[in-house]
Amino acid sequence: MKRYRRRIWSLAPQITDDEANSLLRIAAIQAIENARAYCRNFDQLTGSQQMAVSQLVYQMGVNLSEFGRFLNLMNNEPVAVSALADPAVDNSDPWKSVQQSLIQSQWARLYRVRAVSVIAMLDPRYPDDPAGSEQRIAAVLHPAVHRRRGGATTAMRAAAYHRRSGPRGHAVPRRTARARATRKA
């Protein structure tokens, strides 16, 4: 693996920069068309809201269909009563509910930086104060907590295999075969 990684810079590119840009352009156009399919009133949204939905489609592809609550709120469809009973969601402003549905997702916690900018674009006031919108979202969106594997108990178990402990936690030296033979005699 390391050998291939070192060679990657010396390999000739298979496509040119212009071809890469046209592929990116095609992917962006497809994301916009698919965003229209996901969101019924896409053309009535503001430019920043259209950009946010297009970004979500571009980043997630067909996995966006897993965000049922978000899509229902975007399309003004009924939402489950349990989702409306959430005290963190302000149901008086529909855009806050839409934003909150994304804030509570695992995607937002794992990709926090990207999620802050996309979720902020859904705010109708975003064109007036982009930085303020992003700050409001960043204040409530907390990053995912990464836990270490095993924790302290695994470390203690590993330490027990490496060293014998005697009274008061002091290490007891291992006896060699010669020392054991001498002791038996």
Same domain, 116 and 95: yes
For residue 39, is it within any domain? yes
- Residue 12 domain flag: no
Alpha carbon 163 to chain centroid distance? 40
Distances 134 to 28, 126, 142 between C-alpha atoms, Å = 23, 8, 13
How many other β-carbons are positioned within 10 Å of the β-carbon of residue 107?
A: 18
**Whether residue 171 sits in one domain with residue 88:** no
Predicted structure pTM score: 0.64
Domain count along the chain? 2
Same domain (yes/no): 44, 80 = yes
Domain range for 101: 20-140
Strands of 71-132 (E only): list them: none
pLDDT in tens, the chain (185 residues): 888 888 888 888 899 999 999 999 999 999 999 999 999 999 999 999 999 999 999 999 888 889 989 999 988 876 554 444 455 545 567 889 889 999 988 898 889 999 999 999 999 889 999 999 999 999 998 876 766 666 555 555 555 555 555 555 555 555 665 665 656 65
Residue 160 shares a structural domain with residue 130: no
